[in-house]
Structure 1
Amino acid sequence: MTRIQRRGVRFLKILLAIILAIILVHVVLDRLFDYRLHQALGYGTVYGKMMVFELLTRYIGAALTTLLAFFQLRLFKSLVPKMLLVPITLVVCFLAYVIGFSLFTLDPTVWFTAFQHKPIGHVDPLLHLDFSFYVYVLPAVNAALARILFLYILSLVIHMLFLALTYALQARITKDVQLPVRIGRIARRVLFMTGILFVLFAGLAFISRYNAMLGAGNGSFVSGPDFVTANLGIGVFSWIHVAFLLLVAVSLFWLAVRPIHLYTLEDGFIRFQRRAFLRPVQAFGAFVASWIVTAIIGGLTNGLYVHPNQNTVELPYIKDSIDSTRWALNIENVQTKPFQGADTLTSAQIQQDANAIANVRVNDQNQTLDVYNQLQSFKSYFHFQTVSVDRYGNQEVYTSARQMDQSQLPVPTWINKTLVYTHGYGVAVSPVNDVTANGLPNLIARDTPQVTQSPVPTLKQPQIYFGTMDGDVIAPSKEAEFDYPSGSQDATSHYLGGYGLPVQGNRLLLMIEKGSLKFYTSDQLTAKSQYLFDRDIYQRVADIAPFLRYDNDAFSFVDERTGHVMWMLDAYTQSDNIPYADSFMGTRYIRNSVKVVMDGYTGETKFYVADQADPLLQTYMTTYPTLFTTQIPADIRAHFRYPTDLFMAQAQAFTRYHMTDPSAFYNQEDKWALANQIYQQNQTQPRDPVYQMIRMPGESQPSFVLSELYTPVNKDNLNGWLVADNGPNHYGELRLYQFPQSHLVFGPMQVENQIDANPSISQQLSLWNQQGSRVVRGNLLLVPIGDAMVYVEPIYLVASRDNSLPQLQRVIVDFGQKVYSGASLADALQNVVNGLTVETGTGLTDAGTSGTTSPSPTSTGGGSGAAGTSGAAGGAGSGTAGTGNAAGPGGTGTLAQQAQSWLQKYKSDTAAGNFAQAGQDLTKLGDILNQLSGQKGK
């Protein structure tokens, strides 16, 4: 080797050493930073366990792959010039390192649980293995076998390449008398390695028996192995394939140990005998033939025997699918209760159910978000991201947190984004049933500074540093942190929480990881300053426990014990490896076993165990014993909600899997469908699950439930009502109220069609849609009152211009296949009691009731406009409760009432500065006065 060559080699070695040192330093600093972040959250032990595993497997795997490549390249020493061998070796080893690093980037939880798990307690009906084998062991076996095969095939390819090159060059290398010996040795090694490869393939074929248990089935009525797969594919064919693969391996081993049959020496050169490969080729041909024959036999069996007798042959496997799916989705214990609603509704029943009626959702959830953002955001950088349904005591409410949107800051400097505008402030809460005189939600938590009234607890710490916000901040600092505008000066505060990373002691790490010198150069930081990271709850929980699945509906509530804004997020355990289970929500097994609660002020995050019976969670609790908390405070449990995504998946599954008889399931004799409704702008869509605080049939007290309605397939009549209990004592219990099929019970779309077919309603809705406004229809709700079932649908008006507020205009009630209306739910129900339908004198333009008015059952006393209050801004006819319609529909009495209502609305809109609407009010008033003049002239 020349001097220049030695220098080149030395340079490459130094360069490699520098690269390795940089990688080492980067890994150490990066992991140290991540560890300290998790330590600040209180979960350093959990992260440390996963981190150690990841580092060991990645770098040991990368090192082993590199060594494997290095020793493989030694084969080519005699074929490649030395000056090229070193750079080629370095390049190949680098590529091997990258491949190994990627290949051995493993999920720690998969491997922890493979060796440390608890039995699930359910056994598959075919191979009689506990489900834990499929959930924990099989994924690890598949992953290990795949990596072994990849590396082994790579090594075999390199040996084959070396053999081919050596064999091709033997005619040119005449001086090396040992070359034929080496060629023979490497040829036998390749044969032996190929034989081992087929042994591995045989192992793969054997493992495929268990993977076949997780097959999708026929996609119709069996999820998992059907008759052919169970009896022939797994029971017979898999063993045949294993046997023929082993036969190929044996033929290769036999050829490797008997080189006399493999090659001969002719004039000092090796010549391979083609006849020597006849047995391995025949054995491999037999293996291929076995696949063809088994496929033909399976197809013939399926076509000639199974299909003609499918309704009997497949019944055991249909039964297995039903049982496994119902268990995996936790719908096997749904309580079915027959229910037939009464045909009458009395004032006494309404008064008796006043507490439940007081929580009927006449405010729409989507419209409420618009109201909050327009009336309670105050500044462009405050916003309400979502409105969620919750309850305080027995009061169902809408709730949302006022968060900071830093992208809307007028001056987005580093000081403002990092030190000053660091947090949101307070919440907006309104009862779902309570409206003001203007038809807007009545806020019982509002404004800055924060104002709260019962039943919302006092908000002692309204600042919100953590929630669904982006951007890391530093607090406290010498800069005062903005709370809210207050006259000519801003109200400010300083962060006093404790779940951030202290800047002091971590400046170097922060500077390197965040690429900013400000952690050293800024004189605004103090010894108490903390780096607040992962302020988005979704990002935080994924960093702490990535092995759980998380819902997308985090919601805020005010904690009674601490007076802080808290965030709750549903977490799931899931697995796709459940034999015979159908797939919903993208998985075959799912449980809402964990509730994650994050303090919006301090950032403290806890994983509460909501279902200790979940076998998957039991394994996770064993694997990560410091992660989960089993003792749940009562004030936290009081806000548990059954997640809508899970409930929707269960409801969808129950459309088929309520049928437990395999024959009925095969024939789909009683398949259901989720009910549709008309929502927003006359849009027909599936009715989403809704939270309701109602008294369920047969119960004595109202309960907070999540519900969904069923109709028969291609029919609109109601035949089922599925509810999930959210109460602390019965959380997660599913009940199905089944309606009789012997007579018609209106479903949601039949009610919607009846509303649309009513001439008075249709005419008025069309009129409202033409007067510079648009009609918005809320969710159609099914409400039990006494022994009767009542449909309730709110109607809103929204002006056709930007930033218009949706206002509750009317509440429509459908009972006994008749339509009633009122300015409030109380008015509409009173019309039901009095038998005054829309056609008999209480059209949509009349907000009041006719006849004697009973006390409002929905009055909450929570503000100036309870649900039973007729809103002055509600449109024509408001404020007429208790006034009889002396002249009948369209008579002088009705026109006089309407004129008075439009006059009051004109005064209200004028006072509010809404002059465009006031002009329309005046026009309507003139029309009615003209009609009155005509009446008098007759």
Structure 2
Amino acid sequence: MNQRSRTSLGIIIVAATILVALIGWGAGLYIDWLWFKSLNYQQVFITYLASNIGLKILVGIIMFALLLLNLMLTRKSVLQAVEASKAFRPMFEDDNVITINYPPRVDWREQITPGRLTAVFAGISLLLGFLYSSTISGEWTTVLKFFKQTAFGTNDPIFNKDIGFYIFSLPFYQLLYRLLASAIFLNIVLVALVYLLTDTARGGLTKIFRFPAARYHLSVLAALFFILKSWGYRLDQYFLLLSSSGVVHGAGYTDIHASLLAYRVLTVLSLITAAVIIANIFLKRFRITAYAIVGLLVVSILLGGVYPSVVQKFIVLPNEFNREAPYLANNIKLSQQAYNLDTIERKDFPAGRTLQAQDILDNRNTIENIRLWDWQPLQQTYSQLQEMRLYYELKNIDVDRYMINGEYRQVMLAVREMNQNQLQQQAQTWINQRLVYTHGYGVAMSPVNEVTGEGLPNFFLKDIPPVGPTDIQVTRPEIYYGESDDGYVIVNTKTKEFDHPQGDGNAYCLYEGTSGVKVNSFLRKVILAFVLTDYKMLLTGDITNDSQVLLYRNIKERVPKIAPFLSYDSDPYPVIDSKGEIYWMWDAYTISNMYPYSEPFDSRGNNYIRNSVKITINAYDGAVQFYIADSKDPIIQTYSKIFPNMFKTLEQMPDDLREHIRYPEDLFQIQARMYTLYHMTDPQVFYNREDKWTLPTEKYGNEEKPMEAYYTITVLPGEKEPEFVLIMPFNPQNKKNMIAWLGARSDGENYGKMVVYEFPKQELVYGPMQIEARIDQDTVISQQLSLWDQRGSSVIRGNLLVIPVKDSLLYVEPLYLQSEQSRMPELRRVIVAAGDKIVMEPTLDLALQKIFGEGAIPGKQQEPGTQPQTPTEPTEPVPQDTVKELAAEANRLYDEAQAKLKAGDWAGYGASLEQLKQVLTKLQEQSQTQ
């Protein structure tokens, strides 16, 4: 194969590769269009496509035009250099050498013509323009937000510009500056390279500024670059308000009195440098140009680096607080605004109050909703009891509240999803994975505080089909869309679709939704097979024109594909509506890293967040709805302008779903962490960190871990009705006692309101780890825990909950036992602490009775279908004390009492006798049951 053939083959291969890539891109685009259309979000898709592709095309065309223009300006010099090089022919004389040119040698310089040179320049410009346009992928939202921006109504304290300028305008200007600066720089490099080559072709000494054309051309480009650099310095001054170099985030004394001055001086010097460069085109004094550029560089180092360091060291540090006080105040004020901390209501919570039995009776709605089940042990128990088949999986346990049989109850629930990876190996065929096992089925639900006699959850909904003793019914239990990663499936085919196990066989169903991409022609089937890289779709005869392909069934992939510009909570949760259909609810956030003076909450520098959107996803048909939860947020207002038909108001959400919106835990954790510092509003106190709080820790299992925020139903101090509240306690810095607790409300008109209850600083309120220490130091409890850990089982200490009851606190920690032979934790004890008393009993009611007496527990009739809460004798492991153990404990207490009597410790003697009496009572009870 000769050189020409190889070249032609290479061109064909490249062209074919480009063609296949274009076909693949177009096919994927077509399927995405069909998918967006099936969800009625085709307008969103068009906006995204038009702005993303349109922006790339616009940038590519501009770059192409700039490159071609500058290259064409060099064309005359190139052609002159070629002509000049033809006259430069080295002569070799040798009488003894005969040179034979066969075939005749072709001079490459003869091939360079004006037309061909223009074509080469156009090709280079087109290629570089295309590559350059790909660098702005994802910037379409920056452009659209600039043109559709909404004012915040609040100005920054330094430049007096609306916050919207920093959120919307400044990122756009920075993008524009980056594009123009890199474009000019690329043109300078390319043009300089062309002039360098042409000068070499002339046989010169590579002094490209010898020729007027090169001198004029490069000088103009350099002048444009420094004019643009002047604008860049002006933009940089606004970024000072996002500086992290001072005592707090945002511009400090040095930034305002040194760095800002430097940027303003450099702005002017850059313009002067550009003028000098233009002037020297005619003056031809290139040393002056060099001096101007070097001078600008030296000034930027002195003013931008050395001078701020001197100011910081000799002016700020000797008197730091007085210098930084105004900027500390700016940081406090704007950080509170960025996280909505300025809306938190502050109230006093009395300390030292002792709960009485009547207080427990008056707050039974709080007591009956104390969460005794933690999601981690409960997930293992759910898996053992309710997954039913290998291919089902209860991925997550979520917390919510429902009106159940007329009572407001807090529950835990999980959706039973399909996990095809858990099918038997021989059953993992294409037919089974794509056509048969297409969906999960049903929900498991249990109250947070009830336990059967075996220490297991008392289910409100269980089994397949889901049934239970309450008025909650599930009429559409099929789960086609959830948190599993089973990929796409094809429904409405000739193959029977598995619905759920039924007796010794299976029940089958037909999908009734319309959310899939319809396979209504052979061409569409080919396109789908190509996009999904699944050739088996073309070979099977089970797919008909009525079949649908369900794509993006994982909601964590489905929703962000529609709205990639939002950030999402880590925990979507299922909801059962009044019609018995299952929905997923998911919180979404608008965030920014451009809020001036605000302290960042993550490593990416994000320093503004709002829970602006609530999302519902139908678990059966995958329909997605976006509801604006915070209409005051300017960012979501801007997105509403960009996508006018995408968002609905929260009032448009069905009432039975709106009852289940809750304050999101991720946002609450961020706000709580920021509030540990930004509850201080006095700059002096803030600077010295005199009243810094910390988030508490707790003992979970056998490890000390950061305490997680928790939901509970309680009556807040001063309120009359129970409500669903998210709570986080606070510790003072370097202390373990509790200083305050923060609550976020979720119900009705109070949704989104936050209140912090602060304790008197001069009184002791036990913090979570202090309660944990008291548990460890209690001889009866610690001995019992050690005993259980040695009897073929392990003890799991659950989350410690601090429950506000009236104007006092109740501490509750569940204990689970797990056998070595079975990973199914059982709730066997509840530890309750109130005031100076701490007890451990089989149930919460018994523990409260032990502390507050018989009057704390009302005589309560069991509802039909519920199980008694008094544990019966388990088989494995045995949580009750055996007769032998109780006898040994009685002997120990008797000896201890005698020793204290001899020592004259009458108080200790009485306490030992009281404990001995309790052990003897248990011994009597055990003897009667055996």
What TM-score does the superposition give when structure 2 sets the normalisation length?
A: 0.87
Q: Secondary structure at the match of 1:451?
A: coil
2:760 is aligned to: 740
Q: Secondary structure at the match of 1:402?
A: strand
On the 8 A contact 1:359/1:858 being kept in 2, the answer is: no
On the 8 A contact 1:705/1:723 being kept in 2, the answer is: yes
| Change over 3 Å in CA distance of 1:9–1:247 after alignment to 2 | farther
Question: CA separation in 2, counterparts of 1:878 and 1:126?
Answer: 74
Question: CA separation in 2, counterparts of 1:21 and 1:70?
Answer: 26
Q: Secondary structure at the match of 1:100?
A: helix
Show the 5 A alignment for 1:317-716. Answer: 317-341=327-351, 343-393=353-403, 394-410=408-424, 411-454=427-470, 457-470=472-485, 471-505=487-521, 506-560=524-578, 562-585=579-602, 586=604, 587-630=606-649, 631-680=652-701, 682-716=702-736
Query: Displacement of 1:113 after TM fit?
Result: 1.1
Question: CA separation in 2, counterparts of 1:49 and 1:180?
Answer: 48
The superposition leaves residues 319-371 of structure 1 with CA deviations (integer Å, 9 ceiling, x where unpaired) of 11011110101111111111114643333222211111110111222111101
1:791 is aligned to: 811
2:737 is aligned to: 717
Q: Secondary structure at the match of 1:316?
A: helix
1:213 is aligned to: 241
Q: Secondary structure at the match of 2:308?
A: helix
Q: Secondary structure at the match of 2:873?
A: coil
The equivalent position to 1:287 in structure 2, one of 258, 280, 296, is 296
Q: Secondary structure at the match of 2:630?
A: coil
The answer to whether 1:30 aligns with 2:28 is yes
2:40 is aligned to: 42
Query: Displacement of 1:240 after TM fit?
Result: 0.8
The superposition leaves residues 43-93 of structure 1 with CA deviations (integer Å, 9 ceiling, x where unpaired) of 110111110122222244345545655566664555574669889769846
1:751 is aligned to: 771
Query: Displacement of 1:130 after TM fit?
Result: 0.6
1:166 is aligned to: 198
Runs of 5+ unmatched residues, structure 1: 174-178, 262-275, 835-851, 904-938
Question: CA separation in 2, counterparts of 1:854 and 1:229?
Answer: 62
1:646 partner letter = L
Show the 5 A alignment for 1:25-424. Answer: 25-66=23-64, 69=67, 75=75, 76=78, 78-79=81-82, 81=109, 92=124, 95-171=127-203, 183-218=211-246, 220=247, 222-234=248-260, 236-258=261-283, 261=284, 276-294=285-303, 295-341=305-351, 343-393=353-403, 394-410=408-424, 411-424=427-440
Question: CA separation in 2, counterparts of 1:667 and 1:154?
Answer: 50
Query: Displacement of 1:501 after TM fit?
Result: 1.0
Question: CA separation in 1, counterparts of 2:782 and 2:760?
Answer: 31
Question: CA separation in 1, counterparts of 2:800 and 2:371?
Answer: 10
Q: Secondary structure at the match of 1:213?
A: helix
Question: CA separation in 1, counterparts of 2:336 and 2:213?
Answer: 59
Question: CA separation in 1, counterparts of 2:846 and 2:209?
Answer: 103
On the 8 A contact 1:358/1:858 being kept in 2, the answer is: no
Question: CA separation in 1, counterparts of 2:142 and 2:672?
Answer: 30
Q: Which moved more, 1:281-290 or 1:471-480?
A: 281-290
1:386 partner letter = N
On the 8 A contact 1:350/1:857 being kept in 2, the answer is: no
The equivalent position to 1:770 in structure 2, one of 790, 798, 801, is 790
Query: Displacement of 1:387 after TM fit?
Result: 0.3
On the 8 A contact 2:149/2:168 being kept in 1, the answer is: yes
Question: CA separation in 2, counterparts of 1:790 and 1:9?
Answer: 83
Query: Displacement of 1:553 after TM fit?
Result: 0.4
2:417 partner letter = Q
Query: Displacement of 1:478 after TM fit?
Result: 2.0
Runs of 5+ unmatched residues, structure 2: 83-107, 887-912
Question: CA separation in 2, counterparts of 1:857 and 1:546?
Answer: 54
Q: Secondary structure at the match of 1:216?
A: coil
1:876 is aligned to: 880
The answer to whether 1:814 aligns with 2:833 is yes
Question: CA separation in 1, counterparts of 2:230 and 2:129?
Answer: 29
Q: Which moved more, 1:114-123 or 1:209-218?
A: 209-218
Q: Secondary structure at the match of 1:429?
A: strand
Q: Secondary structure at the match of 1:691?
A: strand
| Change over 3 Å in CA distance of 1:527–1:831 after alignment to 2 | same
The superposition leaves residues 81-118 of structure 1 with CA deviations (integer Å, 9 ceiling, x where unpaired) of 46698897698467525522412434322111111111
Q: Secondary structure at the match of 2:752?
A: coil
Question: CA separation in 1, counterparts of 2:473 and 2:209?
Answer: 90
On the 8 A contact 1:677/1:687 being kept in 2, the answer is: yes
1:838 is aligned to: none
Q: Secondary structure at the match of 1:612?
A: coil
On the 8 A contact 2:208/2:214 being kept in 1, the answer is: no
On the 8 A contact 1:711/1:747 being kept in 2, the answer is: yes
Q: Which moved more, 1:807-816 or 1:693-702?
A: 693-702
Question: CA separation in 1, counterparts of 2:192 and 2:861?
Answer: 86
The superposition leaves residues 710-753 of structure 1 with CA deviations (integer Å, 9 ceiling, x where unpaired) of 11111111110101001121111111011112221111111111
| Change over 3 Å in CA distance of 1:815–1:278 after alignment to 2 | same
Question: CA separation in 2, counterparts of 1:190 and 1:151?
Answer: 14
Q: Secondary structure at the match of 1:774?
A: strand
Question: CA separation in 1, counterparts of 2:810 and 2:576?
Answer: 33
| Change over 3 Å in CA distance of 1:871–1:42 after alignment to 2 | farther
Q: Percent identity?
A: 32
Question: CA separation in 2, counterparts of 1:855 and 1:814?
Answer: 16
Question: CA separation in 2, counterparts of 1:249 and 1:891?
Answer: 93
The answer to whether 1:861 aligns with 2:863 is yes
| Change over 3 Å in CA distance of 1:853–1:317 after alignment to 2 | closer
| Change over 3 Å in CA distance of 1:854–1:110 after alignment to 2 | closer
Question: CA separation in 2, counterparts of 1:242 and 1:553?
Answer: 48
1:574 partner letter = I
The superposition leaves residues 524-565 of structure 1 with CA deviations (integer Å, 9 ceiling, x where unpaired) of 2233321101111111111101100011101112111x3211
On the 8 A contact 1:871/1:878 being kept in 2, the answer is: no
Show the 5 A alignment for 1:14-29. Answer: 21-29=19-27
On the 8 A contact 2:412/2:447 being kept in 1, the answer is: yes
On the 8 A contact 2:373/2:814 being kept in 1, the answer is: yes
